[in-house]
Structure 1
């Protein structure tokens, strides 16, 4: 037994004297340093540039002013900025049309926040952050109308539906509700809202938080008929939009993940979108 013990002792000694690989110990600080404010590659040096559309609607923003920190997406954007090391004076806002945000090409913003759903097609042209909000769609109708009393998606088959072009709401109308007649498609959300107001359509399909704003502030005597999932069980999520290949993506992802894990995103959602829990499910 002496020889094996001697060999074991020698092996232990050799391991103890072997050079140490410091790769693992240095990787984490390097990754952390890459996401410090002074290391970020920004559209405007020293400023974090955030894009969104105009007008900026409630409940995503308040008073058409994304810079005031009020409204769900304004609050999320400033929270992400804070995780990246920026205070409010170091954030600037840029007006970016909805469909321009995820069109191919160079961007003049660091990230855009504008209720942009993460889809495979859009991800071919731009980078998305990890999702910051899981979305459901909603149906709005005039209270007392035939379709306002619908309890299921099947009861909406004969409705003339209004919806905005280029949105996942339009996809949801076509693939989930599948109405007998083609929906009326509008270039701007406000045009679809006006169509409901003027009774040119029976119902409007928008994301759920927007539905609450439509019923509260835009269309008198309207109601939320109900909410439904738009992608057959796969959650639809909003993501922050970045230029394809953006060096900021890992850092923005890290910021979103940190806000999730700390419960900050949930708090912001509860503050600005909490009433969304009141709409019945349509199946």
Structure 2
């Protein structure tokens, strides 16, 4: 975990198709407006739960553990909101582009969404973002014995990217400059496995999940990082008074958690260190 700890207060995008996983999960049929109701002045898709959309897995932000539970950093942060509302937290997994396009909110499938979502002007045209809660950057995943140290070594080679992510945008932007060909994968699991299997020589994506993958797979390594100055936010319905009330409440809770140490506790639980330890010197 040493290399991951040394770099990781920057991180982010997804995997496995739109299935519902774990005891925290909620079937889409259960997300009907029939069960909706108001809790403390905020309308919820399910009056008994905070319904959260994501795209699983995205370890360590959200993934299914050995017991079948959906857990992770984002899960714990949003649990602060669920607990404050006095309801349980239910997680629904679906295609990532359905989340960033706001289709899930238009269909009333969830109250809020998570997934290490980088805040971008383009996405902000479709969704309402919370205040930034995490810093991220891009990383290059390779095999340890590949000899690849950066994008300079990728000329004439194949680079894996995940669709609809900021890593894909970064990779495409520099493809002509470095002479590599991008290969698009639908989710993070397929992208990282492709490197292990030799289908591509490297992949680019948010550094948190890629460091986690390298940690879990000893033959893999992070060759380089690219500081893109990204920040994560939670997502909700845009131009909606109810969603704004929900996000304002979430922002207040996150700010409080940073003041009273709860944010640091959750951060250390999932990343093995405190945010301040990574921020020194930046």
Shift of 1:190: 2.1
TM-score (norm 1): 0.71
What residue number does 2:211 align with? 212
TM-score (norm 2): 0.71
Name the CA distance, whole Å, in 2 between partners of 1:238 and 1:66.
28
What residue number does 1:249 align with? 247
Shift of 1:253: 2.1
Question: Quick one: which of 257, 262, 265 aligns to 1:264?
Answer: 262
Question: Quick one: which of 220, 230, 240 aligns to 1:236?
Answer: 230
Shift of 1:65: 8.1
Q: Which moved more, 1:235-244 or 1:257-266?
A: 257-266
Q: Would you say 1:165 and 2:175 are equivalent positions?
A: no
Name the CA distance, whole Å, in 2 between partners of 1:186 and 1:220.
23
Name the CA distance, whole Å, in 1 between partners of 2:110 and 2:269.
27
Residue ranges of structure 2 left out of the alignment (5+ in a row): 1-37
Distance 1:174 1:276, change over 3 A: farther
Distance 1:125 1:62, change over 3 A: closer
Q: Which has the higher strand share?
A: 2
Name the CA distance, whole Å, in 2 between partners of 1:259 and 1:40.
21
Name the CA distance, whole Å, in 1 between partners of 2:67 and 2:209.
16
Work out whether residues 69 and 75 of structure 1, in 8 Å CA contact, stay in contact via their aligned partners in 2: no
What residue number does 1:92 align with? 90
After superposition, where does 1:109-258 map in structure 2 within 5 Å? Answer: 109-147=110-148, 150=149, 154-156=152-154, 159-175=157-173, 178-217=177-216, 219-230=217-228, 235-245=229-239, 246-247=243-244, 248-258=246-256
Could you list the per-position Cα deviations for residues 97-124 of structure 1 after superposition, in whole angstroms to 9, with x for gaps in the alignment? 2111121441321111112111111111
Distance 1:268 1:228, change over 3 A: farther
After superposition, where does 1:12-161 map in structure 2 within 5 Å? Answer: 37-54=39-56, 56-64=57-65, 68=69, 70-82=71-83, 85-87=84-86, 90-105=88-103, 106=106, 107-147=108-148, 150=149, 154-156=152-154, 159-161=157-159
SS of 1:41 mapped into structure 2? strand
**Aligned residue pair count:** 232
Shift of 1:96: 2.9
Shift of 1:184: 1.3
Shift of 1:142: 0.6
Could you list the per-position Cα deviations for residues 82-107 of structure 1 after superposition, in whole angstroms to 9, with x for gaps in the alignment? 3xx135x5222223321111214413
Name the CA distance, whole Å, in 1 between partners of 2:214 and 2:224.
12
Work out whether residues 52 and 113 of structure 2, in 8 Å CA contact, stay in contact via their aligned partners in 1: yes
Name the CA distance, whole Å, in 1 between partners of 2:46 and 2:230.
31
Distance 1:102 1:62, change over 3 A: closer
Distance 1:66 1:260, change over 3 A: farther
Shift of 1:130: 0.8
Work out whether residues 69 and 78 of structure 1, in 8 Å CA contact, stay in contact via their aligned partners in 2: no
Q: Which has the higher helix share?
A: 1
Work out whether residues 70 and 91 of structure 2, in 8 Å CA contact, stay in contact via their aligned partners in 1: no
What residue number does 1:30 align with? none
Shift of 1:221: 0.8
